[in-house]
Structure 1
Amino acid sequence: MDFTLSNEQKMVQRTIRDFVRKELMPLEPDVLRNEREGRPGVSPELAKELQEKAKRLGFWGINTPEEYGGANLGSMMTALLLMELGRTFVPFSFGGTADNILYFGNEEQKERYLIPTIEGERRSCFALTEPGAGSDAGNIRMAAVKDGDEYILNGEKIFITNGNEADFAMVFAWTDKTKGPHEGITCFLVDRAMGWRSEPIQTMGEWGPASLVFEDVRVPAENILGPIGGGLRLAFQWIGNARWVIPARGIGIAERVLQMAIDHANSRVTFGKPIADRQAIQWMIADSAVEIEATKWITLRAAWMLDQGLDNRHQASLSKLYGANMANQVVDRALQIHGGMGYTKELPLERWYREVRLFRIFDGTDEIQRYIIARNLLKGHVKVGELMD
């Protein structure tokens, strides 16, 4: 067993850490000010400029196959990159990527949707969740009624990331309710120009999801992604691929705020001593360090399994459940160590506090992860100790 990063992984990790420190962290005061004044933290123009800088460093299409112009660095490297990006709250993502299920498109669909998305010319959103169907994806109600060579879509999607900015959506709707969700739900590629509209949803954090409204939106049959009735399988592949991504980012956040807590504990003096000398503070720091380290290896293993072609769904749920709660606990402790200042908007801790609370909800709630983990064990799908064989 060798836990050492390869020379390539070390080099990439150092390069990204330098990029975050030199290009992103200096923007943090401006981002906080913009967000508090109701503006986007980073303008579209600046976001594009930052992506171009990253592209010149070779970071474009991190996990995109080389045949589409990507670096194809794999899931392990993606996890390491997300840990580094998590060290700042400046909204940034590397360009040159597309949703994994877009690769299931036919050649014409790839030309119209996949390649322009990879090149940054188009922007997508994943539209599954509805007001009455979150974790219970099979309970969606949106219908797609066939009319000649078209399907007519009616319904509403909610809490859709990038829904306000996207020019096309991957939309899941019933095409045959007699077959059940695993054979009756189909995925459609639906351009905004076809008639759907988005409405912003206000949240306690800076995540700005949307509600998507479909009223008699006509979609050509040629825009079906994958097989008819195979939509839910595509949806679960998209969701399952993303679950370990959340704790990976949470690790970066937790490491940054833990260092802030350590620095403050060493400099803040009460009753003649630094609060770092107080056992209550020491225990919060120690517990945070242990939980971060545990999350790191659970998450990296989930990414490694995916790279090896192994079924990582159980491990991804372990990572999502433990990592989402870890991030919340570490940020809460860091805020507590900072006392009253941690609660103010002078420091970014309250922003992180609001941001990480979402980690326990989206892409599968804590309760859903516990259900999946317990079901796998109770049904014998995964046996105790099996992951260590």
Structure 2
Amino acid sequence: MDFSLTDEERHTRDWVRNFVQREITPLEPTVLRRERAGQPGISYDEILELRVKARKFGFWGIQTPPEYGGMGLSAIMTALIEAELGRTFVQFSFGGAADNILFHANESQKQEYLLPTIEGQRRSCFAITEPGAGSDLQAIRTTARQDGDDWVINGEKTFITGGADADFAMVFAVTDAEKGVNGGVTCFLADREMGWKSEPIDTMGEWGPAALVFDEVRVPARNVLGEVGQGFALAMQWIGRGRYLLPARAIGACERLVEMAMEHARTRETFGKPIAERQAIQWMIADSAVEIEALRWLVLSAAFQVDSGLDSRQAQSIAKLYGGVKANEIVDRVLQIHGGMGYTRELPVERWYRELRLLRIYEGTDEIQRRTIARNLLKGHSSIRGALG
């Protein structure tokens, strides 16, 4: 078992680390100031400018196949990159990406949706969650009825990431209620100009979800993604595309936070000594270090299974659950180490606090992950002995 990085992996990781330190981290004070003034922390134009800089060095389409101009990197390499990007709360990702299910588009759809999205000329959103149907896809109420050469969509979606800015949505609707989710749900490529509307949802963080309303929205039949009735399989493919990447980001965030805590502990004195010499503080730092290391290997193990073509769903759920819980425990400790100053907005700790809380909800709540993990074990789909059996 070789746990070392290859020269290529190390070089790629180090380049991203330097890019984050040089180009993104210096933006944090400005981003904080804008957010606290009720403005977007970083504009899309600023993100595009950063992406252009990265592209000059070949960083474009991290997981996009080379035939589409991407790097086609492995899951392990992608996890390493995400960990480095997680060391800043500035919401940045490298360009050249598109939702994995868009690659199921036919040739005409690829020209109209996939390729412009990869190039950053179009922006998409994945619209499946509804007010009464979060993780329960069988509870979807949005419908699509066929009318000549069109499908007419009615319904509402909620907490849609990027929904306020997207110019087209991959929207899932019931096309045959009698068949249920397996055979009765279809995915449509719906342009905003076809009539759907969005409304931003104000949250405690800065990820900016939106509610989408479809009121007699006409979508031409040529805009069915995949096949009619096969939307559930596409939805599962999108949801399972990389849950390990969320806890991968948490690794970087937790590393940065603990570094901040250690720096503060070395300089903050109580009763004549730095608090770094207090056992209570040392134990918080020690526990955090152990948990970060455990999370690192859970994420890399899940990524390894993805690269090996194994069924990685159990490993990804474990990493997602552990990462969300431990990231929240760690940021809480870091705030505690900073004392009253950590609770103020003078330091960015509270910003991290709000950002990391989302990890326990986004792309499958803690409860859903526990349900998945337990069911896989109880039904014999996974072993308590792990991937090694």
TM-score normalised by L of structure 1 = 0.99
CA distance in 1, matches of 2:44, 2:318: 35
Secondary structure of 2:158 counterpart: strand
The alpha-carbon deviation at position 386 of structure 1 amounts to 4.2
- Check whether the contact 2:205–2:354 (CA below 8 A) recurs between aligned residues: yes
Give the corresponding residue for 2:2.
Answer: 2
Classify 1:58/1:268 alpha carbon distance in 2 versus 1 (closer, same or farther; 3 Å): same
CA distance in 1, matches of 2:3, 2:299: 13
Asked if 1:196 is matched to 2:196, the reply is yes
Q: Which residue does 2:325 correspond to in 1?
A: 325
Q: 1:351 maps to what in 2?
A: 351
* Distance across 2 between alignment mates of 1:101 and 1:155: 22
Partner residue in 1 for 2:131: 131
1:88-237 pair list within 5 angstroms? 88-237=88-237
Residues 1:271 and 2:280 are matched in the alignment: no
More divergent stretch after superposition (7-16 vs 44-53): 44-53
Read off the aligned partner of 1:303 and give its amino acid letter. A
1:107, 1:255 → 2: CA distance? 44
Alignment-mate amino acid for residue 302 of structure 1: A
Match of 2:250 in 1: 250
The answer to whether 1:364 aligns with 2:364 is yes
- Which residue number corresponds to residue 289 of structure 1? 289
Q: Secondary structure at the match of 2:188?
A: strand
SS at match of 2:241: helix
Structure 1, unaligned runs of 5 or more: none
| Letter paired with 1:71 | M
After superposition, the C-alpha distances for 1:30-82 in whole angstroms (9 at most, x for unaligned) are 01001101111112222111111111111000100000000111211111111
Q: What corresponds to 1:335 in structure 2?
A: 335
Equivalent residue for 1:83? 83
Q: Which aligned segments of 4 or more residues in structure 1 are displaced greater than 6 angstroms?
A: none
Alpha-carbon contact 1:242-1:363 (below 8 Å) kept: no
Identity of aligned residues (%): 63
1:138 and 1:8 map into 2 onto residues whose CA distance is: 44
Letter in 1 for 2:295: T
Amino acid of the structure 2 residue aligned with 1:234: L
Amino acid at match of 2:287: D
Counterpart of 2:66? Answer: 66
Q: CA separation in 2, counterparts of 1:90 and 1:382?
A: 37
For 1:387, what is the secondary structure of its paired residue?
coil
In the aligned structure 1, how far is the partner of 2:254 from the partner of 2:290?
11
Report the Cα distance in structure 1 between the residues aligned to 2:12 and 2:115, rounded to whole angstroms.
25
Corresponding position of 1:20: 20
User: In 2, distance between residues paired with 1:236 and 1:73?
Assistant: 22
Aligned residue-pair number = 389
Kept in 2, the 8 Å contact 1:171–1:190? The answer is yes
Distance 1:40 1:248 in 2: 25
The 1-side partners of 2:361 and 2:47 are apart by 27
Q: Secondary structure at the match of 2:240?
A: helix
Compute the displacement of 1:218 (Å).
0.4
Bigger Cα displacement from structure 2, 260-269 vs 237-246:
237-246
2:383 is aligned to: 383
What is the one-letter code of the residue matched to 1:361?
Answer: I
Q: Deviations over 1:149-171 (max 9, x none)?
A: 11100000000000011000000
TM-score normalised by structure 2 residue count: 0.99
Structure 2 counterpart SS, 1:345? coil
Preserved CA contact (<8 Å) 2:89 2:355: no
Corresponding residue number in structure 1 for 2:52: 52
1:220-273 C-alpha deviation (Å, 9 max, x unpaired): 111111121111111111111131111011111000000000111111100011
Question: Where does structure 2 lack aligned partners over 5 or more consecutive residues?
Answer: none
- Structure 2: how far apart are the matches of 1:222 and 1:192? 16
Distance in 1 (CA, whole Å) between partners of 2:223 and 2:42 is 33
Distance between the aligned counterparts of 1:61 and 1:353, measured in 2? Answer: 30
Q: Identify the residue that residue 241 of structure 2 maps to in structure 1.
A: 241
* Conservation of the 8 A alpha-carbon contact between 2:360 and 2:366: yes
CA RMSD of aligned residues (A): 0.8
Deviation by residue 1:92-120 (Cα, 9 ceiling, x = unmatched): 11000000000111111111111110011
Query: What letter is aligned with 2:245?
Result: V
Distance 1:131 1:242 in 2: 24
* Cα distance in 2, alignment partners of residues 236 and 44 from structure 1: 29
Please tell me the residue identity of whatever aligns with 2:194. M
Following superposition, the deviation at residue 311 of structure 1 comes to 1.2
Q: Distance in 1 between matches of 2:44 and 2:179?
A: 44
Contact in 2 for aligned 1:194/1:217 (Cα 8 Å): yes
Residue aligned with 2:166, SS: coil
Distance 2:301 2:107 in 1: 34
Segment drifting more, 242-251 vs 152-161? 242-251
Task: Output the amino acid matched with 2:75.
Answer: S
Report SS of the residue matched to 2:380: coil
Cα distance in 1 for partners of 2:85, 2:20 equals 7
**1:92 partner SS:** coil
